């Protein structure tokens, strides 16, 4: 029996480029080579697509030119969906814009290649923090208070916005670009004098800016879900540990060996120190949100939890989480190689479902219309 040609996509034109490389390398390292012919697909920082055996090693990327790497060959597939493609199925390890926000998902839909993870709608909606918040509001999901604005609105009336933000959201604010991840571009603000710099930093990554109310005395709690389109499995919960004022890029990737192991090596408590009843509340919300966004594959959901009142606040979903959250599934009894098998199975099932739907409509319109 021939092996499945498994394309592992990573890199990309995104602020989280290096994080994506680590996630891709980890996945390739744990894939069962008796089942899969693993084909790395690296997108450099200029947007060019490459492949080659060298792209399976961390040593290559430590010295590679991320704008035009040498030692790899161009990767391409046909836009003709009936053509023979170089891969049978794609595992997307992108983090950040384009690769996580629905762009690559749409491209793979066009060429009819199955892929792991959520489709265009779920990916795009969940990646945009403002759109996510609006959907959660409409569905009655508890979340922290927020406002959003554009850079041009801020520039037109900075003093008015400053007064409004502190009046409506309180004395601790978190300023974030609408489209970014890994805590990049985020600032904690406690004084009006700090707001200008925070807005400026967020605007380096997006002209749409989210401002959230800080929540005191809460734990940061994450769970991962594994969903096949109908059934949702929720992992054990974790408490990421922080040393900065909020869970920063350094906390996530560069403490405790993070330079070698990405998100998997961040300091954390597994299982999280929360009551069983609190975990059940998180599980109910996770299952509901997964259905609302039509998530598939692995998604991580981040929460704030008040350990005294057991009130939970959903902060954001991550449709392609760092390290694929394999450490949460490992702690839940599902080793990484078996998780990869599950992702492949889910991708194939989702592709078969979409392929079974009608995409055209028979009509005699052209016979009865004049132009």
pLDDT tens, residue by residue, 179-205: 986 678 999 999 999 999 999 999 999
Contact 350, 357 (CB under 8 A): no
Q: Pick the closest to residue 301 from 202, 345, 242, 288 (CA basis).
A: 288
* The pLDDT of residue 252: 47
What is the H or E stretch that residue 342 is in? Answer: helix 336-356
* The pLDDT of residue 66: 83
Q: Pick the closest to residue 316 from 187, 249, 226, 221 (CA basis).
A: 221
Among 104-108, 258-262, 323-327, 338-342, the least confident range: 258-262
Residues ≥6 apart with Cβ < 8 Å to 367: none
pLDDT of residue 350 exceeding 80, the answer is yes
Percent above pLDDT 90 for the chain? 86
Mean pLDDT of 12-35: 96
* The pLDDT of residue 265: 61
Mean pLDDT of 74-83: 91
pLDDT of residue 83 exceeding 60, the answer is yes
Residue 331 in 3-state DSSP?
Answer: helix
Mean pLDDT of 4-25: 96
Confidence of residue 38 (pLDDT cuts 50, 70, 90): very high
**Rounded CA gap, 85 and 77, in Å?**
6
* The pLDDT of residue 256: 54
The number of CA neighbours under 13 Å toward the Cβ of 259 is 3
**pLDDT (tens digit, 9 = 90+) per residue, 246-271?**
554 455 455 555 444 666 767 899 99
Among 38-52, 85-99, 246-260, 328-342, the least confident range: 246-260
Mean pLDDT of 302-310: 94
Among 213-217, 329-333, 337-341, the least confident range: 213-217
Domains in the chain (CATH in brackets) are 4-117 (3.40.50.20), 145-213 (3.30.1490.20), 216-356 (3.30.470.20)
* The pLDDT of residue 183: 79
Q: Edge-to-edge strand order for the sheet containing 232-234?
A: 232-234, 219-227, 297-305, 312-318
* The pLDDT of residue 67: 84
pLDDT of residue 303 exceeding 50, the answer is yes
pTM: 0.92
pLDDT of residue 131 exceeding 80, the answer is yes
Mean pLDDT of 56-70: 91
């Amino acid at each position: 029996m021939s092996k499945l040609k498994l394309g592992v996509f990573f890199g990309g034109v995104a602020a989280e480029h290096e994080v994506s490389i680590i996630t891709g390398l980890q996945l390739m390292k744990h894939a069962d080579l008796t089942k899969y012919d693993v084909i790395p697909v690296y997108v450099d920082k200029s947007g060019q697509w490459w492949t080659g055996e060298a792209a399976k090693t961390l040593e290559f990327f430590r010295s590679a030119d991320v704008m035009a790497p040498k030692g790899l060959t161009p990767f391409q597939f046909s836009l003709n969906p009936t053509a023979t493609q170089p891969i049978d199925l794609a595992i997307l390890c992108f983090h950040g814009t384009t690769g996580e926000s629905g762009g690559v998902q749409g491209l793979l839909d066009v060429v009819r290649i199955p892929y792991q993870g959520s489709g265009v709608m779920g990916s795009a909606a969940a990646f945009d923090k403002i759109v996510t918040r609006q959907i959660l509001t409409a569905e009655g999901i508890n979340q922290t208070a927020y406002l959003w604005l554009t850079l041009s609105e801020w520039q037109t009336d900075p003093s008015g916005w400053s007064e409004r933000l502190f009046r409506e959201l309180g004395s601790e604010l978190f300023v974030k670009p609408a489209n970014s991840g890994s805590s990049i571009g985020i600032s904690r603000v406690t004084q009006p004098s700090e707001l200008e710099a925070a807005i400026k930093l967020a605007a380096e990554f997006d002209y749409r800016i989210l401002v959230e109310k800080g929540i005191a005395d809460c734990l940061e709690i994450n769970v991962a879900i594994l969903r096949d389109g109908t059934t949702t499995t929720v992992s054990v919960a974790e408490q990421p540990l922080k040393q900065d004022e909020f869970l920063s890029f350094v906390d996530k990737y560069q403490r405790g060996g993070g330079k070698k192991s990405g998100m998997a090596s961040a300091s954390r408590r597994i299982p999280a120190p929360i009551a069983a009843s609190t975990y059940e509340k998180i599980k109910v919300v996770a299952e509901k949100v997964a259905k609302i966004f039509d998530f598939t594959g692995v998604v991580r959901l981040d929460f704030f939890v008040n350990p005294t009142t057991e009130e939970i606040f959903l902060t954001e979903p991550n449709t392609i989480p760092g390290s694929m959250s394999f450490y949460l599934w490992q702690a839940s009894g599902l080793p990484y190689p078996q998780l990869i098998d599950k992702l492949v199975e889910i991708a194939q099932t989702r592709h078969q479902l979409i392929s079974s739907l009608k995409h055209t409509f028979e009509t005699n319109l052209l016979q009865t219309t004049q132009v």
